[in-house]
Structure 1
Amino acid sequence: MKLLVRNLSRSTTEQELRILFSAHGSVTECSLVLDSATAKSKGFGFVVMPNDTEAKAALASLHETRVAKNKIRVKVAQ
């Protein structure tokens, strides 16, 4: 299942995002969306978790939690 993670701090790294979601199960892919001009984070990214049960558990427990002072939003990517 592919999850969209929004409202991330611009300083959050892909590694930090992977660690955050790995606490809830296996993560096969993790990527931040970067600004093409500055190569800095745009504040959102995607996490792919192969097990739907683990992905739903991660979504339920991480949605609207604080990460680096920002309240992140997690939902299923369309």
Structure 2
Amino acid sequence: MNILVFNLSVNIIGSDLVQLFSAYGEVSYAAVVRDKISGRSKGSAFLEMPHEAEAEQAILALNRMLLDGKKIVVQEVAYKPGEFNN
């Protein structure tokens, strides 16, 4: 399942998210969205958890939790391959 995390502190890196979400199951991918020019975090990240039940547990448990002083928003991304290719 693809997961989107919003409202991240600029101090959070991908390995922080892997550690956090791994408490609920396997994380196969995690990347913080960064500005192309400055390299600074844009405050969001994408994750992938291959097991749907584990991902759903993580979303329920972590949505609206306080992480590094900010209340994060965690939700499933309904993405289909090729959906954004026009």
Does the TM-score normalized on the shorter chain lie above 0.5?
yes
1:1-78 map, 5 Å? 1-78=1-78
Identical amino acids, percent of aligned pairs: 36
Of structures 1 and 2, the larger Rg is shown by 2
Aligned-partner SS, 1:26: coil
Q: Distance in 2 between matches of 1:70 and 1:64?
A: 9
Deviations 1:2-39 (A, max 9, x none): 00000000110111011000010000000110001100
Give the TM-score taking structure 1 as reference length: 0.98
Q: Distance in 2 between matches of 1:76 and 1:45?
A: 12
Gaps spanning 5+ residues in structure 1: where? Answer: none
Q: Distance in 2 between matches of 1:69 and 1:13?
A: 15
Partner of 2:81: none
Q: Distance in 1 between matches of 2:39 and 2:76?
A: 25
Gaps spanning 5+ residues in structure 2: where? Answer: 79-86
* AA aligned opposite 1:6: F
Question: What is the alpha-carbon root mean square deviation over aligned residues?
Answer: 0.5
Aligned-partner SS, 2:19: helix
Give the TM-score taking structure 2 as reference length: 0.89
- Return structure 1 stretches of 4+ with deviation > 4 angstroms: none
